[in-house]
Chain A
Amino acid sequence: MEIVTSIVAGILFMTATYLMLSKSLLRIIIGTGLLSHGAHLLILTMGGLKKGTVPLLDEHAASYVDPLPQALILTAIVISFGVTAFFLVLAYRSYQELGTDDMDQLRGNDQK
């Protein structure tokens, strides 16, 4: 199962890289979203999947699942959500101001 999730994380990274290399700003933002999703899936895989029961003392089980990666993922999701929201608003504002979402025209070579 770990191998499958690793491969899925790899596919997410691949797609994110492809999207971030494109010209359209919206695609780049979707790419950053996918990149953070891949990172979260990777944290989950690194913690190890389903090695015991839920981490509650009442369960009296031989082994428990490590709860820390899930806490890390929760925090990382909130942060990436905030950054993505900021990025979307920024993209919208700059589309209003600059009139384009093409990264080729957003190079900034002209000193205006």
Chain B
Amino acid sequence: MNNNIIILPIIIPMITAVLLIFFNKQEKVQKYLSAVSSVINIGISVFLVHYVHTNGIISLEVGDWKAPFGIVLVADMYAILLVLTANIIVFACLLFSYKIVDYNRSKFFYYSGVMFLLTGVSGAFLTGDLFNLFVFYEVMLMSSYFLIVHGNSKPQLRETIKYILVNVISSALFVISVAFLYAVTGTLNMADLSLRVAELGSSGIIAAISIMYLIVFGLKEPFSRFFSGCPAPIRLRQQLLRLYLVLF
């Protein structure tokens, strides 16, 4: 079997989101399409959990660029379980939002926003490349901005400004710490990174970069908790933990 199946939990919500943009006026189509796609996603995630359980860690070199240079997607047990959790939570959120999201909201791409959010979360869990993690983080953040401000009431507009500002600052810090880590180790692949960092030992610069990452995720995480007025599927502490496991 081909390892290409790893990319499915990322690409199915993305395609669904794009399709849902075209059907924004038909509420029924939106509901059924998002539910069907979510169920398919859960099925694929369960299959992947089973596959990783029997065959061990699987990885995909995207575009066949070899590992330390290209971007890899890695599905180990931890990541794929988190993807499964995210998918189940999104499915539950969808069922809930069928009740509370009326036509006035759903015609402004509410379900597309949820699906793009799922794309970002699954991608952030499955990626094995630090900069790609940043990209998926931004995909997730963009849709979370959208979902938080969705509805256009005064408090939403007022609080979203602060939420975006905090996240823009922490994203800039994220880029900066990626740059520092690249300058020190010369790689962005997470598996390669753990080897290089282990070679460097506990030098001061690694500690400084780790503190940068601590600031980045420490800024992002509490605020996404405080301001989440939307069905934000999953908290990112797991991702933070995963990054720490790579770094130390």
Which residues of A are at the interface with B, using a C-beta cutoff of 8 A?
Answer: 20, 25, 28, 32, 35-36, 38-40, 42-43, 46-47, 68-69, 72, 75-76, 79-80, 82-83, 86-87, 90-91, 93-94, 97-98, 106, 108, 112
Tell me, in angstroms, the Cα distance from A106 to B155 when the chains sit together: 9
Contact A75 to B131, CB < 8 A, known contacts A46-B183, A97-B152: yes
CB pair A47 B183 closer than 8 Å: yes
Tell me, in angstroms, the Cα distance from A40 to B145 when the chains sit together: 23
Residues of B within 8 A of A79 (CB): 135, 138, 171
The A contact surface, by secondary structure, is helix
CB pair B154 A82 closer than 8 Å: no
CB pair B154 A32 closer than 8 Å: no
CB pair B161 A32 closer than 8 Å: no
CB pair B175 A76 closer than 8 Å: yes
A sample of 12 inter-chain contacts (CB < 8 A) reads A20-B165, A39-B172, A72-B182, A83-B142, A90-B149, A93-B152, A94-B158, A94-B160, A97-B152, A97-B154, A98-B157, A108-B159
Contact A75 to B135, CB < 8 A, known contacts A39-B172, A87-B164: yes
Q: Counting CB contacts under 8 A, is B178 at the interface? A: yes
Size bracket of the B interface: 20 to 34
A82 to chain B, nearest CB (A): 7
Residues of A within 8 A of B165 (CB): 20, 28, 32, 87
Residues of B within 8 A of A36 (CB): 168, 171-172, 175
Per CB-CB distance, the 5 closest pairs between chain A and chain B, nearest first, are A46-B183, A94-B157, A43-B179, A46-B179, A39-B175
CB pair A112 B155 closer than 8 Å: yes
CB pair B179 A90 closer than 8 Å: no
Residues of A within 8 A of B180 (CB): 46
Q: Counting CB contacts under 8 A, is B169 at the interface? A: yes
Tell me, in angstroms, the Cα distance from A106 to B182 when the chains sit together: 39
Tell me, in angstroms, the Cα distance from A10 to B52 when the chains sit together: 46
Residues of B within 8 A of A32 (CB): 165, 168-169, 172
Residues of A within 8 A of B172 (CB): 32, 35-36, 38-39, 80
